[in-house]
Amino acid sequence: MASPLIEPVARLIEAFNRLPGIGPKTAQRLTFHILRAPETEARTLAAALVAVREQVVFCEVCFNISDAPTCPICRDGGRDQRRLCVVEEPLDVLALERTGEFRGRYHVLHGVISPIDGIGPDRLRIGELLRRGDEAAAGGLPFEEVILATNPTLEGEATAMYLDERLDGRVGSVTRIARGIPVGGDLEYADEVTLIRALQGRRAIADRPR
């Protein structure tokens, strides 16, 4: 039986449906909204999508999103260079920056260790993190504290434990954000008060056997 949808409409529905958090029904609603919207709105959306792909890059230092080789946070000389906050995704940087609580630097892993999904440490920006720690120490300004702000999921906790072991001896101390974030929750959905309490209540990771 032939599909009642013409090809351009079907392709756009399929494209929306591939985005995270968007199911078939939502994909259809978005597509028909664009069909009913003024032409200028559709062209603005298309131009914004192209601009994101062509103009946005990842910072060469912290791997946050940027419009230049280094992001505004890494270029900011007023940030505390002795403290580094490690997060999973660029959206987590935005969430923490909204609180105004943390004034150090960031490192974005772009994911977490997840063996079930075939994601090991080599698939993340962990090697670059370790090199940052070594280079900071070699330059005479070692990190006094590295805050592990991965999400409180099984994968996030496993990643934090792995990083704690690898950072041992490379930095002054390694801390973990407090349980202000609910288990299974994502930083990007947390309110500012919860994030502030999580940062303020960070703790050292359990002592490792010597």
pTM attached to this predicted model: 0.78
Does 93 reside within a domain? yes
Whether residues 17 and 119 fall in one domain: no
Do 15 and 79 belong together in one domain?
no
Question: Cα(101)–Cα(43) distance, rounded to whole angstroms?
Answer: 39
Same domain, 85 and 152: yes
Q: Is 150 helix (H, G, I), strand (E, B) or coil?
A: coil
Shared domain for 23 and 107, answered yes or no, is no
Rg (CA), the chain: 21
Render pLDDT for 69-105 as a digit per residue (tens, 0 to 9): 999 999 999 999 999 999 999 999 999 999 999 999 9
Does a structural domain hold residue 19? yes
Residues 29 and 131 in one domain: no
User: Distances from the Cα of 132 to the Cαs of 42, 142, 166, 185, 197, in angstroms?
Assistant: 43, 9, 13, 28, 27
Phi, psi dihedral angles at 66 (to 5 degrees): -160, 160
- pLDDT, mean of each 10-residue run, the chain (210 residues): 75 94 95 94 94 94 96 96 97 94 97 94 97 95 96 91 95 87 74 77 68
Task: Give the structural domain span for 147.
Answer: 62-204
Among 55, 70, 86, the domain-final residue is 55
pLDDT at 137: 94
State the pLDDT at residue 152: 83
CATH code of 138's domain: 3.40.1360.10
85 lies in the same domain as 47? no
CATH of the domain at 14: 1.10.8.420
Say yes or no: 41 and 77 in one domain.
no
Residue with tokens 């449906």: 17
Residue the block writes with tokens 């199911």: 23
**Shared-domain flag, residues 86 and 157:** yes
Q: Are residues 156 and 141 in the same domain?
A: yes
Instruction: Note the pLDDT of residue 134.
Output: 96
Q: Say yes or no: 22 and 122 in one domain.
A: no
